[in-house]
Structure formats: structure tokens, C-alpha cells
Amino acid sequence: MSKPLSIGIAGLGTVGAGVLKLLAENGDIVAARAGRPVTVGAVSARTRGRDRGVALDALRWHDDPVALAGDPGVDVVVELIGGSDGPARALVEAAIAAGKPVVTANKALLAVHGAAIAEMAEAHRVPLAFEAAVAGGIPAIKGLREGLAANRLKRVAGILNGTCNYILTTMREQGREFGDVLAEAQALGYAEADPSFDIDGVDAAHKLAILAALAFGRPVDFDAVHVEGIREVTAMDIAFAGELGYRIKLLGIAGRDEAGISARVHPCMVPVAAPIARVDGVFNAVVAEGDFVGRVMLEGRGAGAGPTASAVVADLIDIARGRHTPVWGGALDAASAVPMERHRGAYYLRLMVLDRPGVIADVTGILRDGAISLESMLQRGRAPGEAVPVVLTTHDCEEAAMRAALDRIAGLDAVLEKPALIRIEAL
């Protein structure tokens, strides 16, 4: 068997400790599949004394993570620090400059600086592997870059954040409101003390930016992703979705057509019969559509020590074997980004209105003026002079027209609160 591959790990949190545990417990399997042992030679973390459940005594310790790049006993640098800048970025750039392959789980770094880092890796002919950056243990990167390499991909989409999926699932199953379920998710450790990165859609948008770059052979472009979170989804909307035959999911969706490439993250209503509608709890899913393969869906755990460590070590096995794929899969496509205003699709609208004559006529008149065609309407009960919900679904129309109509509807004196809008997606 060949010389062991010695790695240096920066960041010994949940994922870093998971990688150490996996290599300790499955080292024989990893060695057989890598063609040589994969060993840990050095580590770096902020705190030395904390119990991480694995022995660290025999490893070289670097207080400065960037020092791993210069450690002569380290063949591959594994960056598990996180964050789009700071020590994570400095370490990755130093490792590439030193000619050392990099494995990272850092979606924020790749989403924000991925184009520059990929260019640097290609210039130095250094492998940059990041399977763990998207959807945890699901082999989404390999699936797009290798398994579907013979296809022109038309769309890639998915449930890319387990925290949001857990919250929406619990709201649906228990009929509870967002704030209550979020507090429970924080208590259970599914959501951070500051959950905004997850619930405002930023985490999912980082991952979608990476998937879009891979799917369409373009530089990663986080700024081109339209981002909305789930703060405004209510138990009432979830109940109405069920009546209409839908479930609400936070989806990341990137597509390509004649106009260019669009990328968006927002709550969606998907038909209950769609496979992705049944992906619940903390699970993630990635759907890809190719011209020859058709539609493919991968489902699994999108976070956690075990699944993410599995993806990290899969990349290490590839590097040990000398398998190296260009970061974004070859020549880059210069297709333009399509702004959200040009999106076409169907919509769900919920209005809280005073129950009085003429209100529905005013609303439908505004939609008519915007050339927006209604598919259905729901109104439950009568309460003259009081607030009642009115639910409308539309046929396909342009986002700009819908937004303009919604602004006019919100200005009606009979509309008592901000209208709720959720896009309908036939995945």
C-alpha cells in the first residue's frame, strides 16, 4: 500500500470531530477505498483543552490555522472553520498557494469568493473539493459534476436547509405558529441562538449559488440569488395550502432558459404528490433535471457530524486516488442572470379583509388590470364588518405584474394587513 495521505484539519467543532471519529472507526474501509491510509497529522482550533470525544495527544497542534498550510507533514488541508472571510479564507488561499489540495465544507466562503478561489486553484493546479458544502451527506456535488456530466441541465432545486424544513414540517403537523416552533427548534439544538442565517434563507442561498455554478458551468454568483426566508409563513397559510393540495417548503431553485440563468430561494407551495413534498423534518433533498436523464432526486441528512464528515472523507478518498475534476466542470458559460422581476409562475395570495360588499370586486379588478388570471378563490364563513381571510390562486403571470398588483391591493382600505404571497412550484 502507498504512503499514507496526511491531512491537517482546521476547526474541531461538530464536523471536525466527526471527521476524526470517522477516520478512527472506519480507517480500514477508507484505506481500502483510497488505496492508502488517510491519517491526521495536525490540527488547529481555538481551544485546546475541550473534550471532543477523540484523542488529540499524538497530533501536532497549530494555534494559527494558516500554519497548517506550511506544515511539511501535511499533504492536504481540511478547512472546517466556517465563515466567508477571516481565518478560513486565509487558510484556503495559503494552502492553494503552497500547492496543497484543499477540502472544505464552507458554503459561505465558496458562495462569496468561490470564483476567485477556483481561479486560484486552477492556476496552481491544486484540487479544491467541497462535497460537504452542500446538503451534508447527500452526494449532490458528485451527482451534478460527475453522475450527470453527459447532460445539459435545465434546472436544479432542493430543500437546502434542515432548520427551515423542520420548522415548516412541525408547523404543518402540529398547527403551531412560526415563533413557537422556532423557539422549540432552538431548545432542541436544530436552530442557532441567532437563527437569522437559516430562517432568512441565506444558508440555502449560499448552497444554491454553488449548485447553480456546477449545474450551468458558470462562475459562482451569490449576489444574483433572490433570497426570501420563512419568517412570514403562518399556520393559516399552511392550513390553506393543505386544503388546496399543497405543502409549503423553503426551496432553492436555479434554472436556465433562453433568457439566461435564474436563481432564487423562497417559500414555495408544491403539490402534495410531488416527491419533494414528502421530505420532512431535518432532511434535505436535491432535484436535478437533465435533457437525457430526466428528473433525479437525492434525499438525506443535510447537516450533522456524521453526514458532513462522510462527505469530507469522500473528497479525501478522491484526492488520495488522484481523482481530480475541474472546480466548475470546465469552460465557463457567460449566460446572463435573469432578475426575479422576470420570473413567471403561479401564485397563492392570502388577504385579510373587512367582510363588506365590493371588496372582492376591487381585488379582482386590480388583478384584471395587471392581466393576472385567477385559478381559484376560497372564502370561509361570513363576519360582516370583521376581518376574514380570502385566498386566491393565479395562473402563470410575471413577477413584476404580480408585485405591482399586490402593492395596489395592499393600499385598499378594506385590506387590513400585508397580503401574504407564496409562489406555486410544480416540482
Statement to judge: residues 297 and 152 lie in one domain: yes
Cell numbers given for 193: 441562538
Mean pLDDT by 10 residues, the chain (427 residues): 90 94 96 96 88 81 94 97 94 98 96 94 95 93 93 96 96 97 90 92 97 91 96 97 97 94 97 96 96 96 91 97 77 78 97 91 96 92 81 97 97 95 94
Give the sign of the dihedral formed by CA 60, CA 63, CA 69, CA 72: negative
CATH number for the domain that contains residue 389: 3.30.70.260
Contact 253, 343 (CB under 8 A): no
Statement to judge: residues 157 and 265 lie in one domain: yes
Statement to judge: residues 290 and 387 lie in one domain: no
Statement to judge: residues 124 and 166 lie in one domain: no
Between β-strands 260-271 and 246-257, what pairing exists: parallel, antiparallel or unpaired? antiparallel
**Of all helices (H) and strands (E), which one includes residue 423?**
strand 420-424
Domain membership flag for residue 62: yes
Statement to judge: residues 181 and 285 lie in one domain: yes
Q: Which of 301, 329, 350 is the last residue of a domain?
A: 301
Statement to judge: residues 282 and 364 lie in one domain: no
Q: Which of 248, 276, 301 is the last residue of a domain?
A: 301
Distance CA 262, CA 275 (A): 23
Domain membership flag for residue 309: no
Domain membership flag for residue 290: yes
Structural domain boundaries enclosing 405: 341-424
Q: What pLDDT is attached to residue 313?
A: 98
* Neighbouring C-beta atoms of residue 51, cutoff 10 Å: 7
Statement to judge: residues 188 and 91 lie in one domain: no
Domain membership flag for residue 319: no
**Which ranges of 132-220 would DSSP assign to H, the alpha helix?**
140-142, 162-174, 178-188, 196-199, 202-216
* Neighbouring C-beta atoms of residue 266, cutoff 10 Å: 22
CATH number for the domain that contains residue 28: 3.40.50.720
Q: What pLDDT is attached to residue 413?
A: 93
Statement to judge: residues 154 and 231 lie in one domain: yes
SS3 96: helix
CATH number for the domain that contains residue 246: 3.30.360.10
CA distances from 198 to 108, 201, 203, 374 (A): 12, 6, 5, 33
Backbone phi and psi for residue 141, each to the nearest 5 degrees, phi listed first: -65, -50
Statement to judge: residues 108 and 152 lie in one domain: no
Q: Which of 66, 98, 133 is the last residue of a domain?
A: 133
> DSSP for 352-399?
EEEB-TTHHHHHHHHHHHTT--EEEEEE----BTSEEEEEEEE-SEEH
Between β-strands 128-129 and 102-104, what pairing exists: parallel, antiparallel or unpaired? parallel
Q: What pLDDT is attached to residue 241?
A: 97
Q: What pLDDT is attached to residue 332?
A: 60
Extract the runs of DSSP E, i.e. beta strands, from 259-386: 260-271, 283-290, 294-301, 344-354, 374-379
Q: What pLDDT is attached to residue 67?
A: 95
Statement to judge: residues 295 and 360 lie in one domain: no
Cell numbers given for 357: 360588499
Domain membership flag for residue 222: yes
Domain membership flag for residue 323: no
Give the sign of the dihedral formed by CA 191, CA 197, CA 203, CA 205: positive
Distance CA 376, CA 387 (A): 20
Q: What pLDDT is attached to residue 151?
A: 95
Domain membership flag for residue 12: yes
Name the domain count of the chain: 3
Contact 301, 284 (CB under 8 A): yes
**Of all helices (H) and strands (E), which one includes residue 254?**
strand 246-257
Statement to judge: residues 114 and 59 lie in one domain: yes
Domain membership flag for residue 335: no
Residue closest to 34 by CA, chosen among 103, 97, 88, 117: 103
Statement to judge: residues 170 and 223 lie in one domain: yes
The set of catalytic residues is 207
SS3 29: helix
Contact 268, 248 (CB under 8 A): yes
